[in-house]
Structure 1
Amino acid sequence: MELAQVRLLVTDFAACYRFYADVLGLKPQSGAENGPYEKFSPTVGSAGIALQDRVAMAGLLGELGDSVAGHRSLVVLRVDDLDAYCAQLTERGATLLHGPAPMTERMRVAHLKDPEGNLVEIQEWQLLLT
């Protein structure tokens, strides 16, 4: 397992984008200034900080009620075999909120919460065959 990123769930995406890009000087991956997602890379190291629109994540999890304001971050872990890892998690007593399911063309994810209610995303990247 690899720590992929720390993702901040934000309400004012554009302001946060400018802070991480212009103030902190982190390099944006795609230039999506208005979201709903952007990953920023430090000059050294592989893990980065990512921003994601809070309402978009709440919609994905089916939590569009009062909890939209509650989630502020999530820990993202990358694994090689999402289905096998999720099976292990549920055998150990975890309850998945979402997934395993596609999130993008190349990425599948599952979400769960820790005992304090913090979101955890487990992700698997798939190679594109050309």
Structure 2
Amino acid sequence: MNIAIHFEIPVRDLARAIRFYEQVFELELERTSIDGNEMALFPLDEAAPGCSGALARGESYVPSLDGTRIYLRVGDIELAMARALGAGAKVLYPVTRVSEQIRVAEFQDPEGNRIALQEMARP
């Protein structure tokens, strides 16, 4: 069993965050409201391993460079970082090989969050 089942990325400006994440990850987010908080849900494939999450705007959601660090999987880390920078992100940790099969990088999104990317080489 994988322990992670859901994540929420705090945002101040949900519309701006949606534009950023849709551009960087080339996907469509679904806007909704949950328990009085504005959310934008990442796609979820219940048949696939891993979890999904949301962008979240509400009183208890405070963007930060500190705290929990989430790693989002990408197929091409160089391309994803280029899209992030083009959409207003700042490099916090450049693309770095951490093992024979894994490369990682980190950026600060326009909301002020530290987001990590991970690319795994295909066997």
TM-score interval (norm. to shorter) = 0.3 to 0.5
Structure with bigger helix share is 1
TM-score using structure 1 length:
0.42
The TM-score, its normalising length taken from structure 2, stands at 0.44
Q: Which has the higher contact order (CA 8 A, sep 6+)?
A: 2
